[in-house]
Amino acid sequence: MEKKIRREIKYSSDEWDKVIELSAKSGKLPAAYIRDKALNIKISVIDYLNHHPRDQDERFRLSNKMNDIAKTVNTEKAIYGKDVEEAERVINDLGEFVRNGIIPLPLREVEF
């Protein structure tokens, strides 16, 4: 049998209660649960961008409009009322797009 190295970790009462609860849910003893979590690190990434071509076209259109406004401001070294109004429209369109056009996709795990 492989020799185990004993190390001590200090927990608050609340932290230990949470470890006990999570280990019970996983069906493992606390030590096995802690070891598993420490050695098998996985990060869950939520991809909020919908990859529908229509949505990509809309993002592209809105970003081009904002770039055009920035180009006008940078080349003419001035900002006009119409540019401010156009920027406000683009920002409002982006807000609507974010609220209505982007849906979360399932999590994917990244292992180290």
Q: Taking the model in full, what pTM does it have?
A: 0.38
**Nearest in space to 109 (alpha carbons), one of 40, 50, 51, 52:** 40
Are 86 and 69 within 8 A, CB to CB?
yes
The rounded distance, in Å, linking the Cα atoms of 17 and 35 is 17
pLDDT value for 104 = 47
| CA distance linking residue 25 with residue 21, whole number of Å | 6
pLDDT for position 101: 59
Domain ranges of the chain: 13-40, 53-111
pLDDT tens for the 112 residues of the chain, in order: 688 888 888 999 999 999 999 999 999 999 999 988 888 877 666 555 555 556 667 777 777 887 887 787 778 777 777 777 877 887 777 776 666 655 444 555 555 4
